[in-house]
Amino acid sequence: MNRSGWHRLGTTRRTIAATVVVLLTSACNRGILDPVGPVASAEKQILINSTAIMLAIIIPTMIATVVFAWWFRRGNTKAKYRPEWEYSGAIEMVVWSVPALTVMLLGGIAWIGSHDLEPSKPLKSANPPLKVDVVSLDWKWLFIYPDQGVATVNQLVVPAGTPVSFRLTSATVWNSFFVPQMGSMIYTMPRMTTRLNLQADRPGVYNGLSSHFSGDGFPGMQFQVQALPPDQFAMWAQGARGSSLKLDGAGYSALSRPSSYVKPMTYGAVAPGLFDAIVADRVPPGPVPPGEHNQPVNGTKA
Partner 1 sequence: MNLFGRLTWDAIPFNQPIPLITSLVVLIAIAGIAIWVTVKGWWPYLWNEYITSTDHKRIGIMYIVLALVMLVRGFADAIMMRAQQALAIGASQGYLPPEHYNQIFSAHGTIMIFFVAMPFVIGFMNFVVPLQLGVRDVAFPTMNNASFWLTASGVLLVNLSLFLGEFARTGWLAFPPLSEKAFSPGVGVDYYLVALQISGVGTLLTAVNFVTTILKTRAPGMSYLRMPIFCWTALASNLLILAAFPVLTVTLGLLMLDRYLGFHFFTNDGGGNSMLYMNLIWVWGHPEVYILVLPAFGIYSEVAATFSGKPLFGYRSMVFATLAICIISFCVWLHHFFTMGAGADVNAVFGIASMVIAVPTGVKIYNWLFTMFGGRVRFNVPMYYLIGFMLTFVIGGLTGVLLAIPPVDFVVHNSLFLVAHFHQVIIGGVVFAIMAGYTYWFPKAFGFMLDERLGKAIFWCWFIGFHLAFMPLYVLGFWGATRRMQHIPDPTWAPWLDVAFVGAAIIGLGIVLTVVQLVYSIRTRDQRRDVTGDPWDGRTLEWLTLSPPPHYNFAVLPDVHGEEAYWTRKQTAIKLDQLIEEPKYQAIEMPVNTPTGVIVAFFASLCGFAIIWYIWWLAILGLIGAFAVFVWYAWRDEHEHIIPVDEVRTNARERRRIRMEHLHELSQST
Residues 185-224 that bind partner 1 (CB under 8 A): 185-187, 189-192, 194-195, 207, 209-220, 222
Task: Concatenate the DSSP letters of all residues of 151-191 into one string.
Answer: EEESEEEEETTSEEEEEEEESSS-EEEEETTTEEEEEE-BT
Q: Which stretch binds partner 1 (CB under 8 A): 156-164, 230-238, 247-255, 288-296?
A: 288-296
Query: Cα–Cα distances in Å, from 2 out to 6, 7, 115, 218, 244?
Result: 7, 9, 50, 21, 40
| Residue 197: its H or E element | strand 194-199
Q: Using the rule CB under 8 A, which residue among 24, 30, 227, 243 binds partner 1? A: 30
> At closest approach, how far in Å is the CB of 248 from partner 1?
23
Query: How far is CA 293 from its chain centroid?
Result: 24
Residue of 152, 176, 197, 226 interacting with partner 1 (CB under 8 A) = 176
Interface of this chain with partner 1, residues 141 to 170, rule: CB under 8 A? none
The smaller minimum CB distance to partner 1, of residues 211 and 243, is found at 211
For residues 14 and 10, what is the distance between their CA atoms, to the nearest angstrom?
A: 9
C-alpha distances (whole Å) from 80 to each of 64, 69, 138, 242 are 17, 13, 67, 84
In sequence order, the β-bridge partners of residue 204 are 227
What part of residues 32-51 is at the interface with partner 1 (CB under 8 A)?
A: 32-33, 40, 42-44, 46-47, 50-51
3 state SS of 83: coil
With binding defined as CB under 8 A, does residue 298 bind partner 1?
no
- Name the pairing type of β-strands 269-270 and 246-247: parallel
d(CA 207, CA 59): 35
How many residues interact with partner 1 (rule CB under 8 A)?
Answer: 116
- DSSP, collapsed to helix, strand or coil, labels residue 133 as strand
Binding mask 7-26 for partner 1 (x = CB under 8 A): xxx--x--xx-xx--xx--x
62 binds partner 1 (CB under 8 A): yes
Q: Which residues of 149-159 are buried (b: 16+ CB within 10 A; e: fewer)?
A: ebbbbbbbbbb
Residue 208 CB, shortest distance to partner 1, in Å, is 9
174 binds partner 1 (CB under 8 A): yes
CA nearest to 173, candidates 195, 185, 191: 191
Q: Which stretch binds partner 1 (CB under 8 A): 103-111, 144-152, 158-166, 237-245?
A: 103-111
Interacting span for partner 1 (CB under 8 A) from 30-38, 158-166, 229-237, 242-250: 30-38
Q: Which of 10, 16, 60, 39 is nearest to 181 (CA)?
A: 39
- Measured between alpha carbons, how far is 76 from 29 in angstroms, rounded to an integer? 48
27 binds partner 1 (CB under 8 A): yes
| Binding span for partner 1 by CB under 8 A among 80-88, 158-166, 226-234, 246-254 | 80-88
Out of 41, 106, 241, 243, the only residue in the binding site for partner 1 (CB under 8 A) is 106
Among 113, 134, 142, 154, binds partner 1 (CB under 8 A): 113
Which positions from 243 through 272 interact with partner 1, judged by CB under 8 A? Answer: none
How far apart are CB 168 and partner 1 at their closest, in Å? 9
| Nearest distance, CB of residue 139 and partner 1, angstroms | 10
